[in-house]
Structure 1
């Protein structure tokens, strides 16, 4: 960072305190000449992150979506990291394809272009299928990418270990667990068979979503290091000038990006967790096309309900309820003060509601949020990392399309719809019915269970060890049926 000049640029963009700048430069300057040189044609921060390796590039991609945090100029520079990195030679890609698919390229594709996009993990070529003549996109992993990521991950583990030992207060953030979570995500991204499966599932979930589409996967020409999918034409979500020239409504697009993310996270519990500009295109008909499914997020039903209640509480400015949900879910230690936490949340929420989006300093807001988590002893929840990260990225994309977007107004109909269907009498009835279905598996065993109970009751000798289990299973099954019937009655009454 120091050798490329990125240290000063980054600290200026993040408005780092003067004392911190002096300390950092003093400690780092002696090592300046052993730093990585990087590509001198790139701006300082972009040059440093691209030289450091793929894991650092991922970090730069997140920052590129947040001009309100790092500044407009730096955010624009970092967008190069999304899909405009230096490609590797076409010949290397061909060798990988032939080795993975076990056939010469000519039998697979009648045409195969030079790279059309290159990112940290892989690059994309446009090709024409030799079987049916369709245009397809062929994604090929970078040579040696597994080794490069392993090196980065090892460095991150070492840094996390150092942080935990040198700063005891940081242990609530679980640095090493965060890196382990990141490692799992990365390992999934390095196997394109898993990405193909994610893309296929995501396409199935979203096929009825108006104004949103996912390309189809060609499984015949996909393997661990190669992924083939239908070719789609569109304008990059970052190119606002071309979007305007094409006559698309950027305000509607910004709203749709945010609502689609929330809908996928809450409705399906399976969402695109890398929705930066480089992975979104605007089709000629105005549809948003999602690409690159290496990082996907998953939420269980309970977490979705907690997340929805928190969002709904902020929308309603009911900070007391937001605080209670945090305590109920165990996100805040039970020994903390609910009212004090509610007031801290109000300090976060009220300024957002009372101010235009272009006047909100996200850098200061994020800084205050971090202070709040520290003050109330909140620990990092690894199951929420991808959700929180994606929310930051998606909001940044939406703001780039519509700088005046009000995220709470846009989110309200999606969250209210989820709350109506999943928290209340209908949800209770559905949960009870699900419980009954699980318990109904004991159905074929009910006669034997009943016979065992009756025999044990008529037998004066001590009941066998399995008697209590049989009795419990029987009453659970009967009780589950009664509960399911009661739940159905509630649903009919209030539905």
Structure 2
């Protein structure tokens, strides 16, 4: 324990020294991490966010893989990081010097339980690529298969664990002492980052991610994912089929060899959108280095250390945002934010509405082919940053994927519109909400969930009464957002009223049907058949009620 604390203290001082050298002494002092004596009197407080971004990027690169990854993830969170700083963090490089082959040999032989000569027919001592977490070597298996072997850097796990422990402590300190840190839930953000980075350090998990996405394209030979060789894979060694082809960003070579760039763009867009919209599990980092093109315009995806996952509900919310944006429906946008439960308690909805109107005026009825989805979401992220709206991590990953894709597709085919490509998936998703099987499935889940709540209600009430009797209940009533509360109550009351009316009407209809059956004649009113007319009215009321529930996104 003492040794770990001393190690953390040593690394903490190293981190502080790096930030001091890069001109952040005033920031460290204001955060309460250093004394005033460390603040340089000559140092000017730089209010230019671009310059701040450059200095921050340099500091993070000097601190190593944990902080490089932190910066790369932060670059995609425009709802949390100013645009000027985020654009600089996008330039973070994690290419570092390779580690010696003797270390590679030692790791592989320990992990795979044999000598390299026994395990491989050939093994290239010179790395194909080197990054902050690991490096890749080409090799041949005894059966003649050409493979790529990724080996994790020695001691990287310990270094990352030390850095993450320090970041967790720092986040706790900031939340206790800084209102902005508490408002943005810094501890939760660091937890999400830690979870993501630890998953990236697990090569076995990366292999399973690759296999899962490969299954999605089992019937599409034009989309390929490298085969994972499980017997040659551990948590720190990953062996996959070797991919040969042209990097998607090498437009000149693609043209010289006669590839169809429009078709390639369509296939990449379709394959990524099907991952997101249909499967809810997708490649989280489709940058040009992870996409190669082979003869026949075949797409090869690499590196599945970072993936995104969307629930059905979150996918529906995302589609709802796109539809509301395209139609310029600001009220609907705010309704979706409410359904996602991401509005901050201090968010002023009137000010938010005015800011969103700026986007409405800019993009309303813009042809889909002219709409850059990444630009739209960057503006939404900027508004979210100002209004303390914290978008879910899965949506942030998805938006980063869309931004990356638009860059890749824009070079392949400048006329390509990802918004246009999304449109059919959006329509399919909306229609799916009315599919009887989907309604039945969700209805059953809702019934089970409510049944569980009802079964636990007596115990919960008993606990609540005991707590009240002990005098441990604090009542905190906030009246700042009464308009939102009353609007929600109105919707609930109206929906309940309509449900009661529909129920009463249905009972009346049943009575008429039974009465008509007994009397042996059709009930008429003003020469109109009451049962048939009533059935039409009841059906319309039911459809309206169902539509209003589905539209809220809270079925």
In the alignment, which residue of structure 2 is the partner of 1:324? 335
The one of 405, 414, 417 equivalent to 2:428 is: 417
Aligned residue for 1:127, secondary structure, equals strand
Q: CA deviation at 1:399?
A: 3.6
In the alignment, which residue of structure 1 is the partner of 2:271? 260
In the alignment, which residue of structure 1 is the partner of 2:132? 120
Q: CA deviation at 1:259?
A: 3.8
Question: Structure 1 residue 393 and structure 2 residue 404: aligned?
Answer: yes
In the alignment, which residue of structure 1 is the partner of 2:551? none
The one of 63, 71, 74 equivalent to 1:52 is: 63
Q: CA deviation at 1:181?
A: 0.8
Aligned residue for 2:304, secondary structure, equals coil
Q: CA deviation at 1:370?
A: 3.1
Query: Per-residue displacement from partner, 1:333-371 (whole Å, max 9, x unpaired)?
Result: 589676764553342355356599999897997466334
Answer whether contact 1:115 1:124 (CA < 8 A) is retained: yes
Q: CA deviation at 1:109?
A: 0.8
CA distance in 1, matches of 2:41, 2:409: 37
Larger Rg: 2
Q: Which runs of 5+ in 2 are unaligned?
A: 1-17, 25-39, 47-53, 78-82, 451-538, 544-555
In the alignment, which residue of structure 1 is the partner of 2:44? 26
CA distance in 2, matches of 1:287, 1:299: 27
Q: CA deviation at 1:437?
A: 11
Distance of aligned partners of 1:403 and 1:51 in 2 relative to their CA distance in 1, 3 Å threshold: farther
The residue correspondences of 1:237-248 to structure 2 (distance < 5 A) are: 237-248=248-259
CA distance in 2, matches of 1:332, 1:212: 39
Query: Per-residue displacement from partner, 1:65-116 (whole Å, max 9, x unpaired)?
Result: 99xx779x9799x4854xx532222221121111101011112111111210
The residue correspondences of 1:72-91 to structure 2 (distance < 5 A) are: 78=91, 81=94, 84-91=95-102
Q: CA deviation at 1:62?
A: 6.4
Distance of aligned partners of 1:61 and 1:379 in 2 relative to their CA distance in 1, 3 Å threshold: closer
Query: Per-residue displacement from partner, 1:14-54 (whole Å, max 9, x unpaired)?
Result: xxxxxxxx9995269xxxxxxxxxxxxxx998765443211
Using structure 1 for the length normalisation, give the TM-score.
0.68
Query: Per-residue displacement from partner, 1:302-324 (whole Å, max 9, x unpaired)?
Result: 22222222223223433332322
CA distance in 1, matches of 2:174, 2:205: 33
Answer whether contact 1:4 1:45 (CA < 8 A) is retained: no
In the alignment, which residue of structure 2 is the partner of 1:304? 315
Aligned residue for 1:281, secondary structure, equals strand
Distance of aligned partners of 1:137 and 1:266 in 2 relative to their CA distance in 1, 3 Å threshold: same
CA RMSD of aligned residues (A): 4.3
Query: Per-residue displacement from partner, 1:249-285 (whole Å, max 9, x unpaired)?
Result: 4444445434433321221111111222222222232
Answer whether contact 1:126 1:136 (CA < 8 A) is retained: yes
Q: CA deviation at 1:200?
A: 1.2
Aligned residue for 2:188, secondary structure, equals helix
Answer whether contact 2:374 2:406 (CA < 8 A) is retained: no
CA distance in 2, matches of 1:236, 1:65: 23
The residue correspondences of 1:48-447 to structure 2 (distance < 5 A) are: 49-58=60-69, 78=91, 81=94, 84-113=95-124, 114-130=126-142, 132-161=143-172, 163-209=174-220, 211-332=222-343, 341-348=352-359, 350-352=361-363, 354=366, 366=378, 369-375=381-387, 377-403=388-414, 405-422=416-433, 425=436, 427-432=438-443
CA distance in 2, matches of 1:229, 1:428: 41
Distance of aligned partners of 1:197 and 1:156 in 2 relative to their CA distance in 1, 3 Å threshold: same
Q: CA deviation at 1:175?
A: 1.2
Distance of aligned partners of 1:59 and 1:373 in 2 relative to their CA distance in 1, 3 Å threshold: closer
